[in-house]
Structures are given as structure tokens and as C-alpha cells.
Amino acid sequence: MTAPAHNENQDYALLASGDGRKLERFGRFILDRPAPQAIWEKSPGPWDQASATFQRGEGGSGQWTTIRGLDQDDGWPVLFHTMRLELRLTGFGNVGLFPEHAAHFAWMKRRLLRRDKPRVLNLFGYTGAASIVCALAGAEVVHVDAAKTVNAWASLNAKACEVPRSSLRLLEDDALKLLRREARRDSKYDGILLDPPTFGRGPKGEVWKIEKDFAPLCAALLPVLSEQPAFVLSTSHSPGVSGSVLETLLAPLRGEVESGEMLLTGSGPPLPSGFYARWIPGP
Ligand SMILES: C[S@@+](CC[C@H](N)C(=O)[O-])C[C@H]1O[C@@H](n2cnc3c(N)ncnc32)[C@H](O)[C@@H]1O
């Protein structure tokens, strides 16, 4: 599955890839970041014009070097899929946006637009792009993330996109705890989004390990799905947690599941960028 045509994502472009790296334009800055899957020869592109280059160190973190024209502590705006989002250089080499997720935006909107006031739960909500897409499609969104700073970033993005306050609740919580609590309260959702990290921590230090915790999380989804749900969308950037693994975890929901690889396209070969599984109820 490829991200939609670039005219919808005015400020993003994949410029080149290869030799374990990817070169992307995010608004007015070009970033050179690791892409271990790009094992081919470097494709031609403006590699020498990168505003910042990220080198990974031990344990997933790393550092940005060659920073030209932007202050590491400042953000910058981009227009992405009709959203106005703020990006920042983070210590993990991320910038607050996973452009490959845009491949699912139109699908989520279509599934939600057929309903009256749908409710969406976005676990591991990060900086809010998917929550904003759903809120602007008319959903009441509960966005959950363990990190206060990330939720503050999502709030900033939601404001810039003029999301009505009543359409988005940002909760600082542990995903699994929150889901179990919602089940006890008999709270129901029409759409659920799951984009778990390989490793993370809840706000009270709860340890999240995808290989141990993701199956129990998926097993806890059924009680919070509404009678006629719109979708469950699960994505992964963890090596080994492939489309068919995601599909297996959603199979007990007994509907229709499709899965695959997310690809970024632009200049150079298509760049594999994680996996997805999409569930909808059966006919
Ligand atoms: C960046 S997204 C994951 C994106 C992508 N799948 C990846 O692996 O890079 C992960 C988000 O989950 C949040 N997170 C980590 N552990 C969590 C937990 N136990 N409960 C809720 N959110 C958590 C992080 O704060 C982060 O914003």
C-alpha cells in the first residue's frame, strides 16, 4: 500500500534512498535519516543539500548533525494531507509525522463519514495526525499517549488544524490499562487505531514490549467495539511484526482483515516503511 499522491501531501516528498538511508523533504527542510531496509545503491538526489542528518547510536536514540537553517529546539510547520502540523527533530530520528500512514487516511474517512457521531479510540496516538483526520471527519476522538510532551504536541497540531475542542480528548495514560478500564465502563468505539512502538513506557513506568503486550491488547479490543463498528487499523514499524502477524492478532474479531506493507513512493525505488492490518466487520 502506497501513500497517496503527493499533491495531497504538499510539503512531503521522498527524494532518494539507498545505502541504508532515506532523503526526504519535509516543508522547507531536507532530512537525511537511517533506513536500514534501503540496502540498494544510493539513488540520485540532492544528498548534499540535507539540512539535517540523523545518525543512530546505541538503543535506538542518536543525534542530528549538519543542522543548517533550523534550530534543533524549534519546530517548523508543514502542510500534510490538508493538515497543518508542526515538526521537530527528536532524539530518536523521528519528526512527529510518519508520512506512510497517509495511505490509510482516506480509507478511515470513508468508513467514518457513513456514520452519525462515530467514536474513535487512538491508542499510542503520538503527535495526533490520525486523531485529527478522524476528528475532522466528524468523529469524537479519544487520543491516548503515555507521554505528556507528545500530547502537548498533538494539542498544538489540533489547534492549528482548527479541530473543535469537543471532538478530541487527549489522555495521558497507559494504552492497555486505559483499554481495560474502558471495557469495565462499557464504553464503546466505532473505530480503533493501534500504532504501538517496539518498546515504550506508560506514564507510571509501565513497561510496553510489543512481543509480550500486543497480543493481550488486541484480545481486549472486542468488548469496546460498538455494535456496528467502522474499523480497526493496526500498524507496525517493528521488524518481525509483519502484516500477517497483525492480521493474526485481529483475526479473533471475526470480520474481514486485509494486511500488507506500507510503502513510501517518490524518487528512487519504493521504500518499505512498516506494515498494516485493516479490520472491518463481516457482511
Ligand atoms: C511514535 S508511536 C509508534 C510509531 C511507530 N509504530 C514506531 O514504532 O516508531 C509510539 C507512541 O506510543 C507512546 N507509548 C509508548 N508506550 C506507551 C504506553 N504504554 N501506553 C500509551 N502510549 C505509549 C509513545 O509515547 C509514542 O508517542
- Summarize pLDDT for 180-236 with one digit per residue, the tens: 999 999 999 999 999 999 999 999 999 999 999 999 999 999 999 999 999 999 999
Would 8-87 and 99-281 be classified into the same CATH topology?
Answer: no
Enumerate the domain spans of the chain: 8-87, 99-281
pLDDT at 6: 43
> What is the CATH number assigned to the segment(s) 8-87?
2.60.40.1180
Atom of ligand 1 nearest to the CA of 92: 9
Residue 196 Cα to ligand 1 middle (Å): 5
Residues with CB under 6 A from ligand 1: 124, 126, 144-147, 150, 174-175, 195, 197-198, 200-202, 206, 208, 236-238
Fold annotation for 99-281: Rossmann fold (3.40.50)
- Tens of pLDDT, residue by residue over 245-276, are 999 999 999 899 999 999 999 999 999 999 99
On average, the pLDDT of the chain sits at 94
DSSP 74-141: --EEEEETTEEEEE---TTS--S--GGGGGGHHHHHHHHHTSSS-EEEEET-TTSHHHHHHHHTT-EE
pTM of the model: 0.95
Residue 41 Cα to ligand 1 middle (Å): 32
Residue 35 Cα to ligand 1 middle (Å): 19
